[in-house]
Chains A and B, each alone.
Chain A
Amino acid sequence: MQKIEAVNDFVVKFANINGSGSASANELFARAILRMGVPVSPRNIFPSNIQGLPTWFEVRVTEHGYLGRRGGVDLMVAMNPQSWEQDVREIDPGGYLFYDSSKPVPRARLRNDIHVLGMPLTEICNDTYSDSRERQLFKNIIYVGALTTLLDIDPQEIEKLFGEQYKGKEKLFDSNLQALNLGREYARQHLKPIALKVERRDRVGDMIFTDGNSAAALGCIYGGATVCAWYPITPSSSVPEAFERYAQKLRTDPASGEKRYSIVQAEDELASIGMVIGAGWNGARAFTATSGPGISLMAEFIGLAYFAEIPAVLINVQRGGPSTGMPTRTQQADVLACAYASHGDTRHVLLFPEDPYECFEMSAQALDLAERLQTPVFVMTDLDIGMNQRLCRPFAWDDNREYDRGKVMTREALDAGTDFGRYLDVDGDGIPYRTYPGTHPTKGGYFTRGTTKNAYAVYSEAGADYIYNMQRLRQKFETAKSLVPLPVLTAARYPARFAAIFYGSTGPAMQEALAALAEQGIYLNALRIRAFPFQNEIADFIAAHSKVFVFEQNFDGQLTTLLINEAHANPASLVPVLHYDGTPITARFITQEIAERVARLNVRPLRENMVA
């Protein structure tokens, strides 16, 4: 029987039961490989409840630094009888199954084309530990120990990680190390060697390992947000939680304990966006983090912020929809809901980060954009980047960077007699000036409202005033094109008539797929869209290719719709390729889809009246 052989390039999947304490052991496994200088890309695939249901943790070991999901499993660590059938089925032919052999498994439940490694984990634990909690927790460490032996992972790296984790807690350190060695010893003596290996490298460089939600929170700290209002929802809750953690460290006066930030857990999403809008109206940088259902609730307020022109930042960590959908699975399914959120003719600025680095960068940038444009700005991340640890470029900050507070009319300007019309387009870019409440005793005060008004903020239902306002808002959206991040082009090595468009968390899997396709002789130009409104470059790119595959992690092809609607792309040239089962899109999926479609497109249609 063939054996999958690989050095630093394979996928290990852990199948566990939620609540069994496996998450930290699995993370330990991933980190140890990382510390050996080999890139890893781990992903949590977890159920929408707290205990008992199946949960998976996939670790991709990736010498070439491909951080997207590859697809397929080389080594399955099957610890959950509930999902056994499915887990065994997923292993690639020639791959490996590692399982708890305390209870015999009938041959019929195994496969002939895989290598089976049984270890009586429960038995070992029952013999070694008397406490039931210990039996459970150390079982996880023991299998990690066995895997380190099988895969040649340096146990010293794990020892160092234990040292960091259990600093000052000698007993815990010792008992964990003991369990690890127990597993190593068993594997050495009883298990057949396998052909997947980890070898020390120097491929991680100065990259950092973090999740998008913490990164977005840090971006809000660096971007100067002082008000955070939120309501718990998966997968966004860890954004405000991380904001609080970072703010406690970075924004609290150590002497007085005074805080240069405020966080309110609101009673619902209506209140959280309301608070953000109130704070934005009053000149503070404010944000909320939420997911699809929260966006739906916020819609009315988002329209108010758009029409009354108030800065607000919304970090939308997308999950599977519609309705409650798949709360713990990933999708890019809120694109249209956010682009046009609220009733009436509204249009909003969206940013699409692809990894934690961009979550940081774009969250900070969103705070600038919101104030510059005086409008809501959405950071469209998703569960895949938000809740998974990713390797990415180290965060960077230019100390000369100043906050863009936008057009704010000062008391001095008012005193100097500058004409203040709250909704007057002074500079022709559609962006009016605002004053903060409390600026001047007699000038610059105005009434903010969601109803129509004239350029001086006076209530008006006059058609001309309404039209002026709507056209100015459109002009402002046009201006936004020059302020939002440009798309990123990956040009094919040879001239290409086909192209791919993608965005957000699809990025890493796409880069890998492009390389794989090039090896098959399929060359595509690829454009990663980073923002809405769409710059003209995007329309030009589409027009320059006969077919453009648009990769999306949703069912309806929402970006495709938006491209047709807003970039005036020719619908006939766009081919949506959709991945929407809630798991992160894989490089294999992309490669296959493109290869098949390109093959089909290359077949010339028969001319009429001709017989094949």
Chain B
Amino acid sequence: MTYIAKPKLHHPSLVKNRVGFTRRDYEGKISTLCAGCGHDSISASIIQACWELDIEPHRVAKLSGIGCSSKTPDYFLGNSHGFNTVHGRMPSVLTGAYLANRELIYLGVSGDGDSASIGLGQFAHVMRRGVNMTYLVENNGVYGLTKGQFSATADKGSRSKKGQSNNDAPIDLVTLALVMGATFVARGFSGDKAQLVPLLRSALAHQGAAVIDILSPCITFNNHSGSTKSYDYVREHNEAVNRLDFISLREEITADYAAGEVIDVRQHDGSIVRLRKLHADYDPTDRIRAMSYIQEHAARGEVVTGLLYVDPEAADLHRQLGTVEQPLNTLGAAELCPGSKALEKINAALR
């Protein structure tokens, strides 16, 4: 672990994106996680995705719970506001922040202990409310920060580093998110940046509750042969349903997609998610099919990755509440306080 501040030297050749930032501007403090921790690879993918999406870093609000994973927002987007809340209950804080200002981009970062145990209730409810956010679960099957206890996503029969066996059935957050009404559901693998970055880009552009469950091996407590969340295990059992590219409207990418292999999904904000279907029969807009597909593969011990479900017509919480376009935190007394005349009327009605 180290607390050394990262040198702020900008190499002149560093490329700037459309909004004038180099990749460096998306970095944060130097990570204090164990070297090789999957969570750091996810941070790197977030940096990449935000830079590529031309997001102004300060327009992102990063919220997290408690755990190794939840520490990571300090390690990317250093000029953004971050909020390390309490264990498992980041979703409500994020919801409140989103109610206050609908114009920021909300990134929730959580762990599997955080989301599937203490925070399972909030996880479920934030999905069904359609809060416009990208919710990442950095899923390592263990409690990293408290040194290696099983989390609720640990597979039945998997063994801890100390050799104990896990007897409880695992909670699959992807299935749960689908059941609860999330409108963008994906699974990634921290070690597969080529897949993860486009997933992140699509999720960030999605106007609704987007969740990516990212398998993220804990190098210290859960990267041994008995684990089903180790690097080797995931690499061997990873079954990708699709490769996708995210295309923003400004920047039409027409890469090498042969007809028949590609479907376009237009999202609510007009951007398009282009999916390369590795399986000709996989339709990511079918929620029911997505659930059974995940279950079928899970029964075979396979981890399905990729974009599993997207609802291009997703409605977000503000639309459901019917709030004004203007962020609520910018309204002043003139717009909020009905004034003394109205109060006199109220008084009169109470006599």
Q: Do A and B come from one complex?
A: yes
Q: Which residues of A contact B (CB under 8 A)?
A: 204, 206-210, 218, 221-224, 226-227, 229, 250-251, 253, 257-264, 266-268, 270-284, 286, 300-301, 304, 394-399, 401-403, 435-443, 445-451, 459
Q: Which residue of the partner chain, among A209, A266, A448, contacts B82 with CB atoms under 8 Å?
A: A448
Q: Do B79 and A445 have beta carbons less than 8 Å apart?
A: yes
* Other-chain residue from A253, A271, A396, A446 in contact with B89 (beta carbon distance below 8 A): A271
- Contacting A at CB under 8 A, from B51-73, are 56-59, 61, 63, 73
Residues of B close to A449: CB separation below 8 A: 83-84
A260 contacts which chain B residues (CB < 8 A)?
323-324, 328, 331, 335-336
- Are B328 and A227 closer than 8 Å at their CB atoms? yes
Cα–Cα distance between A575 and B329 once the two chains are bound (Å) = 47
Query: With A206-B351, A250-B342 as given contacts, are A274 and B95 in contact (CB-CB < 8 Å)?
Result: yes
Candidate in B74, B103, B328 with the most chain A CB atoms within 10 angstroms: B328
B336: contacting residue among A207, A224, A274, A277, CB under 8 A = A224
Binding site for A on B (CB under 8 A): 56-59, 61, 63, 73-74, 78-86, 89, 91-101, 103-104, 121-122, 125, 129, 318, 321-325, 328-329, 331-333, 335-340, 342-344, 346-347, 350-351
Q: A270-B92, A403-B333, A449-B83 are in contact. Are A397 and B340 (CB under 8 A)?
A: yes
Please tell me if the beta carbons of A264 and B336 are within 8 angstroms of each other in the complex. no
Besides the contacts A226-B331, A258-B324, A396-B340, what 19 more A-B pairs have beta carbons closer than 8 Å? A223-B337, A227-B328, A251-B336, A260-B335, A262-B328, A268-B121, A270-B89, A271-B121, A271-B122, A274-B96, A275-B96, A277-B85, A278-B98, A279-B97, A283-B101, A397-B339, A397-B340, A437-B101, A446-B81
Q: Chain B's nearest CB lies how many Å from the CB of A109?
A: 42
The residue in B333, B339, B351 that gathers the most chain A C-beta atoms within 10 A of its C-beta is: B351
Give the dominant DSSP class at A's interface.
loop
Asked if A395 and B74 make an inter-chain contact with CB atoms under 8 angstroms apart, the answer reads no
The closest CB in chain A to the CB of B25 belongs to A442
> A209 near B57 (CB under 8 angstroms)?
no
Q: Could you jot down 28 A-B contacts, CB within 8 Å?
A: A218-B346, A221-B337, A221-B338, A227-B100, A229-B96, A258-B325, A260-B336, A261-B328, A262-B328, A271-B121, A271-B125, A277-B93, A278-B94, A278-B99, A278-B100, A282-B61, A283-B329, A286-B100, A395-B346, A396-B340, A397-B339, A435-B81, A437-B61, A438-B58, A438-B61, A438-B101, A445-B80, A447-B81
Contacts of A251 in B (CB 8 A): 336, 338
By beta carbon, the residue of chain B nearest A403 is B333
A438 touches B83 (CB 8 A): no
When A222-B343, A264-B95, A438-B103 are in contact, do A281 and B121 touch as well, CB less than 8 Å? no
Contact check, A447 vs B322: say whether CB atoms are below 8 A apart: no
How many residue pairs, one in A and one in B, have C-beta atoms under 8 Å apart? Answer: 224
Say yes or no: A395-B343 contact (C-beta < 8 A), given A229-B96, A279-B100, A441-B56: yes
The 8 tightest CB contacts between A and B, nearest first, are A278-B96, A274-B92, A284-B100, A275-B96, A437-B81, A282-B100, A278-B93, A283-B329
Does the CB pair A395–B347 fall under 8 Å?
Answer: yes
Cα distance A286–B101 in the bound complex, in angstroms: 12
Minimum distance in angstroms from B144 CB to a CB of chain A: 16
- Is the Cβ of B83 less than 8 Å from the Cβ of A447? yes
A301 engages B89 (CB within 8 Å): yes
Interface pair A222/B338, CB less than 8 Å apart:
yes
For A259, A260, A395, A447, the residue with the greatest tally of chain B CB atoms inside 10 Å of its CB is A447
Q: Which residues of A contact B96 (CB under 8 A)?
A: 227, 229, 274-282, 286
Determine if B104 and A438 form an interchain contact, defined as CB atoms under 8 angstroms apart.
yes
Q: In the docked arrangement, what's the CA distance between A281 and B121, Å?
A: 22
Question: Which residues of chain A are near B63, meaning CB under 8 Å?
Answer: 278
Within the complex, the shortest CB–CB distance from A193 to chain B, in Å, comes to 31
- Evaluate contact between A282 and B329: CB separation under 8 angstroms: yes
Using known A-B contacts A270-B89, A399-B340, A448-B83, determine if residue A437 contacts B97 with beta carbons closer than 8 Å: yes
Q: Are A226 and B83 in contact (CB under 8 A)?
A: no
The answer for the CA separation of A229 and B126 in the assembled complex, in Å, is 14
Select B85's contact among A209, A258, A304, beta carbons within 8 Å: A304
Nearest CB in chain B: distance from A117 CB, A: 32
Contact A258 B323 (CB under 8 A): yes
Nearest CB on A from B263, distance (A): 35
Which one of A251, A275, A438, A442 has the highest number of Cβ atoms from chain B below 10 Å of its Cβ? Answer: A438
Give A85 to B351 CA distance when docked, in angstroms. Answer: 37
- How far is it, in angstroms, between the C-alpha of A442 and the C-alpha of B59 when the chains are bound? 11
The docked-state distance in angstroms from the alpha carbon of A268 to that of B340 is 35
- Compute how far the CA of A445 lies from the CA of B79 in the bound complex, rounded to whole angstroms: 5
Pair A250/B338 contact, Cβ less than 8 Å:
yes
Interface pair B340/A281, CB less than 8 Å apart:
no
Chain A minimum-CB-distance residue to B125: A267
In the complex, what's the smallest C-beta–C-beta distance from A388 to chain B, in angstroms?
Answer: 14
Determine how close the nearest CB of chain A comes to the CB of B119; give it in whole angstroms: 9
Q: Give the CA-CA distance A270 to B85 in the complex, in Å.
A: 12
Q: Which residue of B lies closest to A443 (CB)?
A: B79
Contact of A271 with B82 in the complex, beta carbons under 8 Å: no
A253 with B101: CB separation less than 8 A: no
Q: Output the least CB separation between B334 and chain A (Å).
A: 10
